[in-house]
Amino acid sequence: MDRYYKPGTQIKDFTITKILGQGRYGIAYLGENRYGKKCVIKQLKKNMLRTTRNKLFYEQDILKSLHSSSIPKFMGTFKNRDAEGYILEYIDGTPLDVLVRKKGYRFSRKEIYNIGSQLLRIIETLQASQIVHRDIRLPNVIMRPNGKLALIDFGLARYIDDEKYTVNDDYWYLGDFLIRLYYTSYFIESDSPSVPWYYELSLTREERYFLKKLLGINGSFESLSDIKANLKELKSMT
């Protein structure tokens, strides 16, 4: 049975202030030290530790190898009689799903292309270390107050093996991610027939081609540089 820590509980040098959420593999808390420095404390669930222990530590190993301001820093591990897990840097900002679902933000074409460019730079950083994230979704992308993006939650990230885990995994997620941003400016009528996104959204021929290729529909991009060049062309058309 997992123990849920209450606010005020001490984990190493940090005091838990609140629970951030939980998933299949673990429970995430917000922590803070006496100097006001925040962190994310990830407590791994006991049943997952018993059945899939090796998979749970991919995030830890991968984040140890990455050094980027757009990715949370790994800050250490903890283990006591009740639980074990690790501590990550807290990224200050707003998850994009909060902007969209709770604040009703509508992204312009210019903003969508800027977000796409930033995510491509993060993907490039990951590929330089032979890593795919495999979960680039709105809740896992943080918009900082200065407009810069950060990518979090590396629980599904893996090392590229060109068989099960390939660069195309992140290209597909990027395409799906951008489509969801396009939908923020599209009003869906309740009686509208269900049609594929490439018919429903008001897209240019070039945008449709770009997104389809990211998703592997009618071909796929051969390299990250090709994606960057294609996105640059789209930006020049706005």
What residues does 11 pair with on adjacent strands? 14
Positive or negative, the CA dihedral 138, 115, 73, 156 is positive
- Identify the pLDDT of residue 91: 96
pTM (predicted TM-score):
0.92
Domain residue ranges of the chain, discontinuous segments joined by +: 10-89, 94-236
- Identify the pLDDT of residue 195: 86
Asked if residues 150 and 72 have their Cβ atoms less than 8 Å apart, the reply is yes
Query: Residue 113 has which token pair?
Result: 């292309």
- Identify the pLDDT of residue 102: 87
Asked if residues 220 and 168 have their Cβ atoms less than 8 Å apart, the reply is yes
CATH of region 10-89: 3.30.200.20
Asked if residues 24 and 44 have their Cβ atoms less than 8 Å apart, the reply is no
CA 30, CA 17: separation in Å to the nearest integer?
Answer: 6
Architecture of domain 94-236: Orthogonal Bundle (1.10)
CA 66, CA 125: separation in Å to the nearest integer?
Answer: 8
Residue linked to tokens 């501590």: 87
pLDDT by residue for the chain (238 residues), tens digit each?
888 999 999 999 999 999 999 888 899 999 999 999 999 999 999 888 888 877 778 899 999 999 999 999 999 999 998 899 999 999 999 999 999 998 899 999 999 999 999 999 999 999 999 999 999 999 999 999 999 999 999 999 999 998 999 999 999 999 999 999 999 998 766 666 788 999 999 999 999 999 999 999 989 999 999 999 999 999 998 7
CA 236, CA 238: separation in Å to the nearest integer?
Answer: 6
Local structure of 28: helix, strand or coil: strand
- Identify the pLDDT of residue 47: 87
Q: What is the pLDDT of residues 55-95, one digit of tens each?
A: 778 899 999 999 999 999 999 999 998 899 999 999 999 99
Report which residue type is found at 108.
S
- Identify the pLDDT of residue 198: 93
In sequence order, what are the residues at sequence separation of 6 or more whose Cβ sits closer than 8 angstroms to the Cβ of residue 44? 25, 26, 56, 83, 84, 85
CA 138, CA 24: separation in Å to the nearest integer?
Answer: 18
CA 13, CA 45: separation in Å to the nearest integer?
Answer: 22
Local structure of 225: helix, strand or coil: helix
89, containing H or E segment: strand 84-89
- Listed residue (163, 54, 58, 178) closest to 113, CA to CA: 178
